[in-house]
Structure 1
Amino acid sequence: MNYPVAVFTGAIRDYPGSRPSAIAKRAVSGTLMLTEYGLEGDEQAEQGIHGGPDRALCHYPREHYAHWAREFPAQAGRFSAPAFGENLSTDGLTEENVFIGDIFRWGDALIQVTQPRSPCFKVNFHLDIEDLSLRMQHAARVGWLYRVIAAGRVGPNAPLELASRVSNVSLRDAASIAWRSPFSDEQCLRLLSAAGLSASWTRTMQKRRLSGEIEDFSRRLWGGTRR
Structure 2
Amino acid sequence: MNYPANVFTGKVRDYDGSRPSAIAKLQVDGELTLSELGLAGDEQAEKKIHGGPERALCHYPREHYQHWAREYPAQADLFVAPAFGENLSTDGLTEHNVFIGDIYRWGETLIQVTQPRSPCFKLNYHFGISDMSAQLQNAGKTGWLYRVVLAGNVSAEAPLELASRLSDVSVYDACAIAWHMPFDDDQYRRLLSAAGLSTSWTRTMQKRRISGQIEDNSRRLWGS
Work out whether the TM-score is over 0.5. yes
1:171 aligns with 2:171: yes
Q: How does 1:1-227 map to 2 (within 5 A)?
A: 1-224=1-224
- The ranges of structure 1 where at least 4 consecutive aligned residues each deviate by more than 4 angstroms after the TM superposition are none
Shift of 1:55: 0.1
| 1:19 partner SS | coil
* Local SS of the residue matching 1:213: coil
Q: Which runs of 5+ in 1 are unaligned?
A: none
Superposed CA deviations along residues 92-131 of structure 1, whole A, max 9, x for unmatched, are 0000000000000000000000000000001111111110
Which residues of structure 2 form unaligned runs of 5+? none
Note the aligned Cα RMSD (angstroms).
0.4
Secondary structure in structure 1 of the residue aligned to 2:207: helix
What are the superposed Cα offsets for residues 9-46 of structure 1, whole Å, 9 maximum, x if unpaired? 00000011100000000000111000000000000011
1:194 deviates by 0.2
What secondary structure, in the 3-state scheme, does the structure 1 residue paired with 2:210 have?
Answer: helix
Partners of 2:30 and 2:19 lie apart in 1 by 31
* Separation (CA, whole Å) in 1 of partners of 2:223 and 2:22: 16
Distance in 2 between the 1:141 and 1:58 partners? 13
Structure 2 letter corresponding to 1:22: A
State the AA in 2 paired with 1:14.
Answer: D
Query: 3-state SS of the aligned residue for 1:202?
Result: helix
TM-score by length of 1: 0.98
C-alpha distance in 1, partners of 2:63/2:31? 25
How many positions carry a matched residue from both structures? 224
